[in-house]
A and B are shown apart, each in its own frame.
Chain A
């Protein structure tokens, strides 16, 4: 949007890295300096809470509220973690963000660290993002050299160390509790009871935020909660959001836009519309674990609240819009999604470990023309079981399947009646 400030993807397209000198010239680290001089931690929590910032890794939990869960009397040491283990298919915003503006994430994490009185921060980054990991290493070294990381930052009493953890793959590591086990050198099952703010990494109080979420923290502290809140396009949404658009559009890419920008505008104006010869059929609005948008719901403002209002299992997710065209088979697409989830299931709990291969088998048989009418209620039942799983992974996996069964059932029925995939010639 012309004239609307971009806060984290400062260039469009965001295809180069902004290192320390330029970041500071463009106002970087002023927020951290202000925080260290003017605010005690509860004030920072209050400002972030007032700003309306929500977790942008998919769950949308209010960031200030998450920070407020850390009890004043919680023991030390405490940890803060930036989650850049972005592995939701279709989602690549954190990669672009980290590669383009690594100091935004670093400054945000230091402020989070100060707010939690944490002595150490960890940036958890996935293996496939090795190039971004190298950019981050360079940026952390710059920040350390400049005194933004280390002992007594800016002469204050606050000291903070920062390390980068390279992961070796697997979707479940992005789940906060799985991530904790991964960092502890254990098999990354998400089986930790209770709040991580009470007992997280090594049993110590831990705050985990998504990389994009943290990157918005410095502009909020610099310009105020109300300013940030007013940046949102829709009534309820605050600030900006990076939308990563992929699929059959002319210009797939990452766009930082006012939060709540309508979907048709994102697709037509910013992503350049559909590729020639392809018509829009549907999209997954926020990554693989969101629901296919039915045609009547496509004119929607892209924010958490609008999807919550729609109900029916809709979720905003990560803002990763995957566009499907009229020549793409949704049974095949859902089969691909479920193959992903079945392979990535950590295997810890039964509904997920056993349920996903069962659903995969049903979809595979439908796709190969061996489906029966009875498969449709079976898919629903099996999806129901996935909601009994231990973590949010399996319900996420069930979400696109339920979208297929409830809003695009005619595609399944065609597979059954024609005894083949109607999209294959």
Chain B
């Protein structure tokens, strides 16, 4: 279950709308932030809050690339494979991260810290090749730069006080 305060905020936001379902994406983001991904339990909880059936929410949950219906790592790495990043060899970025983390595209590290996913053009074409990690931009990327980023996140991620 979500914390009581979070539920109260969502219920208040929902009560202010003309149609509760206009907050469907916001509710899914909130649940995902709490659970780490949109689990079946989270989906049902979201549907209850919105007055929808779980199937109705599932219908849009599976549509969006930033809603994760399966468990993901604490840091979700989205490597841009848009045309400009392609031109600047995004494949080498993916290969480098993949070999450093020991996971294929779509995989999650055993310690649950990192997931590696592709994403379509993220609109940072002046920073190509680029990637987003938990919504934050990194680019233009170099192999050394990537190593530094991963090390820093590994350090932050294993610190018990850090919030993901």
Query: A residues within 8 A CB of B126?
Result: 92, 244, 246, 252-254
- A169 contacts the other chain (CB 8 A): yes
In the complex, what's the smallest C-beta–C-beta distance from B14 to chain A, in angstroms? 11
Cα(A127)–Cα(B24), bound, Å:
14
Which of B1-47 touch A at CB < 8 Å?
18-19, 21-26, 28-29
Identify which of B22, B65, B84, B132 contacts A247 (C-beta below 8 A).
Answer: B84
Query: B residues within 8 A CB of A408?
Result: none
A95-B123, A126-B123, A336-B86 are contacts. A169–B66 as well, Cβ < 8 Å? yes
Q: Which residue of A lies closest to B65 (CB)?
A: A169
Which of B71-111 touch A at CB < 8 Å?
81-84, 86-87
Cα(A131)–Cα(B24), bound, Å:
21
Cα(A252)–Cα(B52), bound, Å:
46
Q: Which residue of B lies closest to A201 (CB)?
A: B22
Is there an interface contact between A128 and B84, defined as CB atoms closer than 8 Å? no
- Over the window 312-349 of chain A, the binary record of Cβ atoms lying under 8 Å from chain B Cβ atoms (1 yes, 0 no) is 00000000101010001000110011011001101000
Is there an interface contact between B64 and A168, defined as CB atoms closer than 8 Å? yes
| Interface of chain B, main secondary structure | mixed
A130-B135, A168-B65, A246-B125 are contacts. A185–B86 as well, Cβ < 8 Å? no
Is there an interface contact between B25 and A165, defined as CB atoms closer than 8 Å? yes
A90-B83, A246-B128 are contacts. A169–B64 as well, Cβ < 8 Å? yes
Identify which of A171, A244, A346 contacts B125 (C-beta below 8 A).
Answer: A244
Cα(A338)–Cα(B79), bound, Å:
18
- A308 contacts the other chain (CB 8 A): no
Is there an interface contact between B121 and A185, defined as CB atoms closer than 8 Å? no
Is there an interface contact between A168 and B21, defined as CB atoms closer than 8 Å? no
- B150 contacts the other chain (CB 8 A): no
Cα(A166)–Cα(B67), bound, Å:
12
- A216 contacts the other chain (CB 8 A): no
In the complex, what's the smallest C-beta–C-beta distance from A132 to chain B, in angstroms? 9
Query: B residues within 8 A CB of A333?
Result: 83, 86-87
Is there an interface contact between A89 and B120, defined as CB atoms closer than 8 Å? yes
- A129 contacts the other chain (CB 8 A): yes
A90-B84, A92-B124, A246-B125 are contacts. A184–B25 as well, Cβ < 8 Å? no
Cα(A166)–Cα(B18), bound, Å:
18
A170-B64, A340-B83 are contacts. A89–B121 as well, Cβ < 8 Å? yes
Cα(A92)–Cα(B127), bound, Å:
11
Query: A residues within 8 A CB of B87?
Result: 247-248, 324, 328, 333
Identify which of B26, B63, B82, B121 contacts A170 (C-beta below 8 A).
Answer: B63
Query: A residues within 8 A CB of B24?
Result: 185
Chain B interface residue count, CB cutoff 8 Å, equals: 37
- B149 contacts the other chain (CB 8 A): no
A87-B120, A95-B123, A253-B126 are contacts. A202–B60 as well, Cβ < 8 Å? no
Q: Which residue of B lies closest to A94 (CB)?
A: B123
Cα(A346)–Cα(B125), bound, Å:
24
Is there an interface contact between B83 and A337, defined as CB atoms closer than 8 Å? yes
- B49 contacts the other chain (CB 8 A): no
Query: A residues within 8 A CB of B23?
Result: 185
Q: Which residue of B lies closest to A244 (CB)?
A: B125
Cα(A202)–Cα(B23), bound, Å:
14
Query: B residues within 8 A CB of A337?
Result: 83
- B119 contacts the other chain (CB 8 A): yes
Identify which of B22, B50, B59, B67 contacts A168 (C-beta below 8 A).
Answer: B67
Cα(A127)–Cα(B136), bound, Å:
11
Q: Which residue of B lies closest to A347 (CB)?
A: B63
Is there an interface contact between B22 and A184, defined as CB atoms closer than 8 Å? yes
Query: B residues within 8 A CB of A92?
Result: 123-126
Cα(A91)–Cα(B18), bound, Å:
33
Is there an interface contact between A340 and B121, defined as CB atoms closer than 8 Å? yes
Is there an interface contact between A86 and B123, defined as CB atoms closer than 8 Å? yes
- A31 contacts the other chain (CB 8 A): no
Which of A85-135 touch B at CB < 8 Å?
86-92, 95, 126-131
Which of B114-162 touch A at CB < 8 Å?
119-126, 128, 132, 135, 137
Given A88-B121, A168-B25, A340-B120, 20 other A-B contacts at CB below 8 A?
A87-B121, A89-B83, A89-B125, A90-B125, A91-B121, A92-B123, A95-B124, A128-B119, A130-B135, A165-B22, A167-B25, A167-B64, A170-B65, A185-B22, A185-B52, A188-B63, A202-B18, A332-B86, A340-B82, A346-B63
Which residues of A line the B interface, CB within 8 A?
86-92, 95, 126-131, 165-171, 182-188, 202, 244, 246-248, 252-254, 284, 288, 320, 322, 324, 328, 332-333, 336-337, 339-340, 343-344, 346
- A-B pairs with beta carbons under 8 Å apart, 19 shown: A86-B123, A88-B121, A90-B125, A92-B126, A95-B123, A167-B64, A168-B65, A171-B120, A184-B21, A184-B22, A185-B50, A185-B60, A244-B125, A247-B87, A247-B125, A288-B121, A324-B87, A337-B83, A346-B63
Question: Considering the complex of A and B, which 10 residue pairs feature the smallest CB-CB distances, nearest first?
Answer: A185-B21, A185-B24, A168-B64, A246-B125, A89-B121, A169-B65, A92-B123, A128-B122, A252-B126, A130-B135
